[in-house]
Amino acid sequence: MADGDRNSLPTRRGVLKGGAASLTAGAVVALEERPVAASARAGLSHAAPAEPGAALAVDLQVNGVHHALMLDPRVTLLDALREHLMLTGTKKGCDHGQCGACTVMLNGHRINSCLSLAVMHDGDAVTTIEGLGHPDDLHPMQAAFVKHDGYQCGYCTPGQICSAVAMLAEHRAGMPSFVTEDLRATRHELTDAELRERMSGNICRCSAYPNIVAAIRDASGEIA
């Protein structure tokens, strides 16, 4: 190869230097252009972002009572009920969706309130154990739990009762469970297997399960 040809070939060092220079230049252009282009498109000045964790307004209908709250968006529905509305009947067991102690009814459907953020429920109707009945006027499910000793320490009981009330509504509406044999049927017999499966999200560490099943079965006739 002639000397002139060798001098005109790119060297490895030259290629790396050139590549680095063009990459750096590209990055500088991108860094300089992107904010200007974005703010120009949006027609905005460089406003400060919202404070992380700034309180948000949320309206909750809890047990038929309207509550206008300002809440940190990280507050769970469970903590909003217990810490902000002082409705401590709903219990915190695991705080991550495994025990069912925090079960409430949201627009008639049971949910684990520890797994849901309060600000997601603006305008929603929440029913807690306090909204089902009172000591001098018990809901049939509450009365059945008392009649059948459906508890020992009682910590899981509010969640069990809220879950059972919503579970019976699901069953009456024809919703199948994991153990339902005929998924096309609109009515299913509430066998013990069905009842236990449908209540399997509510754990009782005292193992009062036989009495809980008896209470729910007893109440199911009255509620129906």
Query: Which residues of this chain interact with ligand FES, rule CB under 6 A?
Result: 92-95, 97-102, 112, 114, 151-157, 204-206, 208
CB of 165 to ligand FES, least distance (A): 17
* Residue among 61 and 152 whose Cβ is closer to ligand FES: 152
CB of 89 to ligand FES, least distance (A): 13
**Interatomic CA distance for residues 214 and 186, integer angstroms:** 24
Planar angle of CA 143, 86, 203, nearest 5 degrees: 50
DSSP state of 84: I
CB of 59 to ligand FES, least distance (A): 23
3-state secondary structure 14-50: HHHHHHHHHHHHHHHHHHHHHHHHHHHHHCCCCCCCC
**Interatomic CA distance for residues 35 and 14, integer angstroms:** 33
* Residue among 106 and 156 whose Cβ is closer to ligand FES: 156
* Residue among 105 and 151 whose Cβ is closer to ligand FES: 151
CB of 118 to ligand FES, least distance (A): 14
How crowded is the C-beta side of 198, counted as CA atoms within 13 Å? 30
* Residue among 102 and 168 whose Cβ is closer to ligand FES: 102
Amino acid (one-letter) located at 17: K
* Residue among 24 and 200 whose Cβ is closer to ligand FES: 200
Q: How many CB atoms lie within 10 A of CB 103?
A: 30
CB of 93 to ligand FES, least distance (A): 4
φ, ψ at 130 (rounded to 5°): -70, -25
